[in-house]
Amino acid sequence: MKLDTGALRYLTTEDWRVLQAVEQGSKNHELVPTPLIQQLSGLRSGSGIHRNISTLAKVGLIAKVKNAKYDGYRLTYGGLDYLALNTHRKANAIYSLGNQIGVGKESDIYITASPEGRQLVLKLHRLGRISFRTVKSNRDYLRNQKSGDGSWMYLSRLAAQKEHAFMKVLYREGFPIPEPVAWSRHTVVMEFIDSFPLRMIDSIPDPGKLYAELMDMIVQLAKRGLIHGDFNEFNILIKEITTESGKLRLEPILIDFPQTVSTNHVNAQMYFDRDVTCVKRYFERRFKYTSNEPGPLFEVAIKGAEADRRLDIEVEASGFSRKMGKELERFVEVPVGKQEAEAGTEEEEEEAEEEEEAEEEESGVEDEDAEDEGEEAVTVASELNGQGTPADP
Ligand code: ADP
Ligand code: MG
């Protein structure tokens, strides 16, 4: 799904209000009927709301859907992207949007910049895009949910909220992770780490040292009540730092937190061991490095944990509740033994894509993704600074 910001420039204040109204209406309605859009937008009748609706539909921010009883509109992922961008721009979190630097398993990653010119990363969560394997069986459940708010969007929001909540406490506690800057809907803005994923690094001078640091990170997280849950070579970024003495130091930075779990989780031991094994295997395969030491062991790691310094408990209490965590986990849990590196077979992914296309045809939304792939995203600096917009509802 490409983020096309072309229309950001010319949407009017009324267009934005109508877009927000569709978002708001989506919380209780699968299709938001026009009279409700009118009402929620706070625009007077006869103010040409049909024109706003048609503008938004034309650029694909909302989509017309028919059901047995009435016609209505629903928010598209594009519309959600715009709303999030707009919130970030109004909060002065981001000023311009640059190139796409990553297409993760369940996200799109863009370079952005703050008004002061600081380089940042915008992560747009896109749950259900590729890993249909894990969510497919739950589709019917999601379809039957009362909340019509596109279920993928709902889950993507949860994922972003969770990621931001965990990043905040981890960063504050000095863990080596990007600084979280802002969160809106399905997006997180964070510090850009000038680095390479460990996956792209062929050789390192002292693998034992990095190995020990990574294992220590896993242990330190567990001591604070957390297990990353996807601790692999794609989610460990390596920053190269030249020290004062001119030596090269490799600093690992951990990213990607939507699947983080508490050390109280019923499968905590399994998640912990899986993170450990993942690093072990990778170092053996890639760097031919095998540690003499066994472990680390889960029981040992959590032994020193102090109850009042538990970050899992803090996050739960501060907004991302256990219930939300459960809901998200139900759909995104990585099956045992399968991880990002080996997610989904091609067949499954093709099948999922076909299904997605079929769905979009049904709803009249086009997926322009397919043909555009590989094309460079264009820098659209300053385009984000378009029309003034009303406050979020
Ligand atoms: P996913 O859940 O889709 O795997 P990630 O958060 O792991 O998403 O990000 C995908 C990729 O984007 C990473 O492997 C990394 O290359 C890049 N990336 C993500 N966040 C940052 C960041 N803060 N700084 C630099 N690169 C990043
Ligand atoms: Mg990742």
pLDDT in tens, 154-177: 889 999 999 999 999 999 999 999
pLDDT per residue over 28-73, tens digit each? 888 999 999 999 999 987 778 999 999 999 999 999 988 778 889 9
pLDDT at 235: 96
Residue 30 confidence (pLDDT): 84
What's the complex ipTM? 0.99
Give the amino acid at 128: G
Atom 1 of ligand 1, residue of closest alpha carbon: 104
Q: Which residues contact 247 (CB under 8 A, 6 or more apart)?
A: none
From 15, 81, 149, 230, active-site residue: 230
Q: What is the pLDDT of residues 275-320, one digit of tens each?
A: 999 999 999 999 999 999 888 999 999 997 888 999 999 999 988 9
**Cβ of 336: how many Cβ atoms within 10 Å?**
10
Angle at 293 between CA 292 and CA 298, to 5 degrees: 155
List, for residues 324-341, the tens digit of each pLDDT value: 998 888 776 554 444 444
Distance of CA 392 to the CA centre of its chain: 21
Q: Is the CB of 108 under 6 A from ligand 1?
A: no
230 carries an active-site annotation: yes
Alpha carbon nearest to ligand 1 atom 6, residue: 256
